[in-house]
Amino acid sequence: MNVFKQKTKRRLAIIVLMLVFVNIYGTLGFYLIEEGLELLDAFYLSAITYSTLGFGDIVPLTDSGKLFAVSTAVAGLLVSGISIGLFVQLLYEGTLQDILKGNKMEKTISKLEKHFIVCGRGSTGNQIVSELQERNYDVVVIDHEKECNEGLKYFLNGDARKDSVLMRAAIQNARGLAAVLKNDADNVFITLTARNLNPDIKIVSRFKDPDTEKKLKIAGADFVISPYKIGGHRMALSLASPILIDFLDETLNRNGLGVRFGSITLPTTSPVNGKKLRDSGIRENSLGAMIVAIIPPGEKPIFNPQASTVLQPLSQLLLLGTGEQMSNLRRYISRVT
């Protein structure tokens, strides 16, 4: 829980405690001072006194009771004034709205399934979010900086290293998680925590120090990536094979050719299972998606598969095509005959 929430809840607690105190003070006072007064009547008398609504059929009869009524009314006015001041301060600072908005968002996030979680919204995190949102995936971003929520549909302000924060992000239902904080140790800790909370989740983690790579894999990361290594590799290719880089940029750029790489897993009930690639109808029904490789379960990838390749259940198809072609193919291979 961040400092702002703690401060807000503390102020709300003060308001509630003051109101409770005035009620107890007035109720016990009238009950002890006014002889023959029932406890419920004492509470009623206390409430109408400090609320300044005016007396009804029950009034203090003794001089002591009347003086006590004055003190109760003054205490009620003071408490009301302080409470209103604290409440206005909360509204002015915006912390109360943030809590109410945050609670609403957390309820929405708790219902998500097959979504992605991105821990850290730095330059790398921003790029990941942008790419996933471009593919119409639900993405929950976790960052300790409250200001990082701009332009995000789902955002949690908190420490991604904590179990409770990852649970608020519905990690038990998530499809994948990216740990891209600046500190390698934090990414190792997040990876370890995420793997413990969801053994089936796909985890990709960023590292800077080469010594961290092995630790991330031990912690449970499926993929470990160094932006510096990838950047260096890309720059080397730009020098050695500029045409290849231009092609990849044009292919992967959302403003370029409009095609992208993707992967689809064949369901066990898919009608294409057991068929040869030439007879599967994949290219025709996807309206042009190209199969770059096929990865049968537990086997090595088959690059540029032959038309005679037999499709097996749970094989992964690595594809090149437009978003529409990918959607067409996903519907086709998932239909039940």
Query: What is the tens place of the pLDDT at every residue in 251-293?
Result: 666 555 577 888 999 999 999 999 999 999 998 998 888 999 9
Q: Is the pLDDT of residue 73 over 50?
A: yes
254-261: long-range contacts, CB 8 A cutoff, minimum separation 24? 254/134, 258/322, 258/323, 259/320, 259/321, 259/322, 260/135, 260/320, 260/321, 260/322, 260/323, 260/326, 261/292, 261/318, 261/319, 261/320
Q: What is the pTM of this model?
A: 0.62
What is the spatial distance between Cα 96 and Cα 99, in angstroms, rounded to a whole number?
5
Cα angle for residues 1, 117, 250 (degrees, 5° grid): 140
What is the C-alpha radius of gyration for the chain, rounded to an integer number of angstroms? 31
Q: Is the pLDDT of residue 83 over 50?
A: yes
Q: What percent of the chain has pLDDT over 90?
A: 47
Fold topology of 107-228: Rossmann fold (3.40.50)
Architecture of domain 255-334: 2-Layer Sandwich (3.30)
HSE-CB of 23 using CA atoms within 13 angstroms: 11
Specify the CATH number for 1-99; select among 1.10.10.60, 3.20.20.10, 3.20.10.10, 1.10.287.70.
Answer: 1.10.287.70
What is the spatial distance between Cα 278 and Cα 285, in angstroms, rounded to a whole number?
12
Sequence spans of domains, the chain: 1-99, 107-228, 255-334
Amino acid residing at 40: L
Strands (E), the chain: 116-119, 139-143, 154-157, 176-179, 202-206, 223-225, 259-265, 290-295, 302-303, 316-322
Q: What is the pLDDT of residue 94?
A: 53
What's phi and psi for 203, nearest 5 deg?
-120, 130
